[in-house]
Amino acid sequence: MNLDALIDFFHGLSPESVARFPEFYGADAYFKDPFNEVRGVAAIQRIFVHMYEQVAEPRFMVSEKVVDDDGAMLIWTFTFRTARRGGGEKQVIRGVSHLRFDAAGKVNYHRDYWDAAEELYMKLPVLGILMRGLRRVLAAPSAGLGS
């Protein structure tokens, strides 16, 4: 596993470099995030092609990595603009990727964890009002720190 090369790949990801996924992912790799669950490197590539069709200026930045013998956790920030033409508001999603590798060092398991409710839904005009209201109802009363 060359984790630094994989991180560099994601830092420089572009519509053209999506074709390079087979260099880093096994043919039967599993991928899951809050909106997708697929198996196979071609299906994973389709997710990223779709991303470039839906948002402008998408960019991943890995800020931390935790590695063990069986895999890694990558802590990342994903930024993008909401309008496809680049004039939309900049959005930020913070998340973590859990990766496992096969015997050849390629990713065979990739699961992204991020809070779709906080990072996306609460920013939408109508749904955001409902989500913020639900959060107020469900949140435990604040007792303050050190109480």
Residue that the structure tokens 């469900």 belong to: 138
What's the predicted TM-score (pTM) here? 0.78
Partners of 24 in the β-ladder: none
- The CATH code belonging to domain 3-114 is 3.10.450.50
Cα 41 to Cα 110: distance, rounded to the nearest angstrom: 11
Residue 54 Cα distances to 50, 80, 136, angstroms: 6, 10, 31
Cα 45 to Cα 51: distance, rounded to the nearest angstrom: 10
Q: pLDDT, tens digit, for every residue of 77-86?
A: 999 887 655 5
Highest mean pLDDT among 3-7, 31-35, 123-127 belongs to: 3-7
Q: pLDDT, tens digit, for every residue of 41-92?
A: 999 999 999 999 888 899 999 999 999 988 999 999 999 887 655 567 788 8
Dihedral class, residue 144 (left if φ above 0, else alpha if ψ from -120 to 50, else beta): left
Residue 30 pLDDT exceeds 90: yes
Q: In the predicted model, what is the mean pLDDT of residues 15-34?
A: 96
